[in-house]
């Protein structure tokens, strides 16, 4: 029988299944392994020093490190006792990225998390994500499996942001200043790539390369999204007509504005205005 080739599964198509999720302190000197696990595992180090070893070598881990262990890899994971007073603490999640088995080849993630992702000072934010997954998994909600899956999916997507280098914490100060400039000016009218380049004394080509490298988008697409979000707010909250919103954003043609709006927001501006327009409370 001819083997079936599984299509690569991108992060946006994940449908995670959580098998185990915990969030807890561990005894100093605790060790797991040698072992091979049948599913994947994420471990967030909240406090303490740990060591991961497999056939490729050893890796020291500390607070803010997220370890991803693929299924079937023989390894040892252990706490390294030290002088620290605080007891070691981590959160781990055993999971599949989709129904089935990664190890058996039921699916093939095209961009699995790196073996180690270091989130540094953002460890508190990440701990909240892992804790939410644990609480959903351990809770009694009739939707606990779906809630745990949703929490894990957010973790996996944010790990992919780090892999791609598009997480806000990884943006350079120059890019953050440029985004602030665009957020301020784009809603008052059209801002071209050339105008942005001139404001920051750069070439348009360099600006384009910077956006593609750090945001995986173009300045034009970023500006369009800022404008359409602002236009959407005007349609809903101020009751502007489509023509008025287009004019306020510097569009001479309301039809072209509607075309761009639908491409960015997924709905025509007229639909947004009719369905979501805020209305004043009834008198009395």
Query: Residues 231, 269: contact at Cβ < 8 Å?
Result: yes
> pTM score, two decimals?
0.72
pLDDT at 75: 95
Query: Residues 193, 204: contact at Cβ < 8 Å?
Result: yes
Average pLDDT along the chain: 85
Q: Does residue 2 register a pLDDT over 50?
A: no
| CATH number of the domain encompassing residue 143 | 2.60.120.280
Answer with the one of 164, 185, 200 that is the final residue of a domain: 164
Q: Are residues 19 and 142 in the same domain?
A: yes
Q: Does residue 281 register a pLDDT over 60?
A: no
Q: Specify if 83 maps to a domain.
A: yes
**Residue 85 confidence class, pLDDT cut points 50, 70, 90:** low
Q: Is the peptide bond before 44 cis (omega within 30 degrees of 0)?
A: no
Helices (H), the chain: 123-138, 144-164, 173-185, 193-199, 204-215, 219-233, 242-248, 254-265, 269-276
Q: Are residues 154 and 183 in the same domain?
A: no
Q: Are residues 18 and 159 in the same domain?
A: yes
Q: Are residues 196 and 102 in the same domain?
A: no
Question: Which residues on adjacent β-strands are paired with residue 35?
Answer: 75
Q: Are residues 224 and 270 in the same domain?
A: yes
- Structural domain range at position 82: 8-164
pLDDT tens-digit series, residues 125-146: 999 999 999 999 998 899 999 9
pLDDT at 7: 63
Half-sphere exposure of residue 224: CA atoms within 13 angstroms, side-chain side: 15
Domain count, the chain: 2
* Angle of the 219-233 helix axis to the 269-276 helix axis, nearest 10: 30
Q: Specify if 1 maps to a domain.
A: no
Q: Are residues 133 and 152 in the same domain?
A: yes
| C-alpha to C-alpha distance for 205 and 66, rounded to whole angstroms | 36
- First and final C-alpha spacing in the chain: 75
Q: Specify if 193 maps to a domain.
A: yes
Q: Specify if 284 maps to a domain.
A: no
Query: Residues 155, 112: contact at Cβ < 8 Å?
Result: no
259 or 282, which is more confident:
259
Answer with the one of 131, 164, 197 that is the final residue of a domain: 164
Q: Are residues 87 and 46 in the same domain?
A: yes
Of all residues in the chain, the percent with pLDDT exceeding 70 is: 89
Q: Specify if 82 maps to a domain.
A: yes
| C-alpha to C-alpha distance for 120 and 162, rounded to whole angstroms | 12
| C-alpha to C-alpha distance for 61 and 58, rounded to whole angstroms | 10
215: number of Cβ within 10 Å? 18
């Amino acid at each position: 029988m001819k083997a079936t080739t599984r299509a690569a599964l991108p992060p946006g198509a994940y449908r995670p299944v959580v098998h185990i999720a915990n969030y807890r302190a561990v005894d100093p000197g605790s060790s797991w392994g040698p072992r091979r696990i049948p599913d994947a595992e994420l471990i967030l180090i909240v406090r303490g020093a740990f060591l991961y070893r497999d056939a490729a070598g050893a890796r020291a881990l500390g607070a803010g490190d997220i370890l991803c262990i693929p299924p079937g890899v023989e390894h040892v994971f252990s706490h390294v006792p030290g002088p620290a007073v605080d007891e070691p603490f981590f959160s781990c999640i055993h999971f599949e990225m989709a129904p089935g088995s990664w190890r058996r080849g039921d699916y093939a993630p095209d961009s699995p998390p790196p073996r180690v992702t270091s989130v540094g000072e953002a460890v508190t934010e990440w701990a909240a994500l892992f804790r939410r997954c644990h609480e959903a998994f351990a809770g009694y909600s009739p939707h606990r499996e779906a809630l745990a899956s949703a929490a894990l999916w957010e973790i996996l997507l944010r790990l992919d942001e780090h892999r791609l280098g598009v997480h806000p914490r990884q943006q350079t100060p120059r890019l953050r200043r440029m985004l602030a400039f665009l957020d301020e000016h784009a809603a008052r009218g059209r801002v071209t790539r050339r105008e942005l380049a001139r404001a920051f004394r750069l070439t348009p080509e360099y600006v384009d390369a910077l956006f593609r490298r750090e945001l995986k988008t173009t300045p034009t697409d970023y500006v369009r999204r800022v404008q359409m979000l602002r236009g959407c707010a005007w349609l809903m909250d101020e009751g502007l007509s489509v023509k008025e919103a287009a004019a306020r954003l510097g569009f001479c043609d309301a039809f072209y504005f509607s075309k761009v709006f639908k491409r960015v927001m997924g709905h025509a501006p007229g639909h947004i205005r009719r369905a979501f327009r805020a209305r004043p409370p009834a008198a009395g």
